Chains A and B, each alone.
Chain A
Amino acid sequence: MNPPKRIDPRRAYRVGPQGLRRIVLGEISVNGTTSATVEASRRPKAKPLRTTIQPTKWHMVVAHSYRGRLDDHAREAIACAAILAEPDTGVLVVVLGTFQEDPSPLGADRIAIVDDLDWSRYEPVREEALVDAFLQDYCPEHIFLPDNSLGDGDLGRRLLAKQQSSGATHVIEIDRKHIAIVWSSGNRLACAPLPRIVLLDPGAVDANLPFVGAGEKIAVPSTGLASERCVDLGLAPSKPSEIALEEADFIVSAGNGVHSIATLEELARSLDAAVGASRVAVDDGKLPRSKQIGASGKTVSATTYFAVGISGAVQHLQGIKSCRHVIAVNRDPGAPIVKRADLTVIADAEEFMQALITRVAQAREQSELKGDSNG
Chain B
Amino acid sequence: MGDVPSVAALVSAGRHPLTGVPRACRGDAVAMALGRALAGEKFALFHIGSVDEPSLRDYLAYGADKVEVIPANKGDVDINAVADVVKNFDIVLTGTRAEVAAGSGMFPYMLAHAMACPVVTNALDIRVDQSDTGTNVVISQFLPKGQRRSIASATPLVIAVHPFAAATLKYAHSRRVSGTINVIGSVSAAPARQPSWAVEAAPRRPVRLKAAEKQAGHARLLSAIVSEAKGGVVAFEGTTVDKAQVVLNYLREHRLVDF
Contacts and interface: CB of A to CB of B under 8 A. Distances in A.
Contact of B145 (A303, A348, A355): A303
Nearest to B119: A158
Contacts of B144: 148-150, 247
B233 interface: yes
Given A185-B103, A327-B250, A359-B244, 14 more contacts: A14-B225, A44-B229, A67-B255, A122-B151, A168-B195, A169-B105, A173-B208, A185-B17, A188-B202, A206-B210, A234-B150, A338-B234, A345-B234, A348-B240
Contacts of B143: 119, 149-150, 235
Interface of A: 14, 16-17, 22, 24-26, 41-42, 44, 66-68, 79-80, 82-84, 119-120, 122, 124, 148-150, 153-154, 157-158, 160-162, 164, 166-170, 172-175, 179-193, 195, 203-206, 208-211, 229-238, 240, 243, 247-250, 271-272, 303-304, 325, 327, 333, 338-348, 351-352, 354-356, 358-360, 363-364, 367-368
A356 B248 contact: yes
Interface in B227-242: 227-236, 239-241
A192 B146 contact: no
B198 A206 contact: no
Contact of B240 (A157, A161, A352): A352
A208 B219 CA distance: 17
Interface string B203-246: 11011111101100011011001111111111110011101111
A184 B100 contact: yes
A236 B149 CA distance: 6
B206 A230 contact: no
Contact of A184 (B17, B105, B153): B17
Contacts of B201: 188
A203 B189 CA distance: 36
Contacts of A169: 102, 104-106
Contact of A248 (B103, B142, B146, B193): B146
B110 interface: yes
Given A185-B99, A206-B209, A344-B235, A247 B200 contact: no
Contact of A327 (B103, B213, B247): B247
Nearest to B120: A230
Contacts of B225: 14, 16-17, 22
Interface in B144-188: 144-154
Chain B, interface size category, equals: 35 or more
Nearest to A228: B118
B148 A235 contact: yes
Interface of B: 15, 17-18, 20, 99-106, 109-110, 112-113, 117-122, 138, 140-154, 193-204, 206-211, 213-214, 218-219, 221-222, 225-236, 239-241, 243-248, 250-251, 254-257, 259
Given A16-B227, A250-B256, A343-B250, A240 B146 contact: yes
Contacts of B141: 122
Contacts of A124: 118
Contact of B230 (A153, A230, A339, A348): A339
A195 B106 contact: no
A238 B259 contact: no
Contact of B254 (A185, A195, A211, A325): A325
A25 B218 contact: yes
Contacts of B18: 186
A83 B148 contact: no
B100 to A, nearest CB: 5
A235 B153 CA distance: 16
A346 B232 CA distance: 13
Please list the 7 inter-chain residue pairs (A to B) with the smallest Cβ-Cβ separation, ordered nearest first: A17-B227, A192-B195, A233-B150, A342-B232, A173-B206, A161-B109, A190-B197
Given A17-B227, A210-B213, A189 B200 contact: yes
18 contacts: A16-B227, A42-B226, A67-B256, A79-B211, A83-B211, A166-B193, A169-B105, A181-B102, A184-B20, A191-B197, A192-B195, A230-B120, A236-B149, A338-B234, A339-B231, A341-B232, A343-B232, A368-B259
B152 A231 contact: yes
Contacts of B101: 183-184
Contacts of A359: 241, 244-245, 248
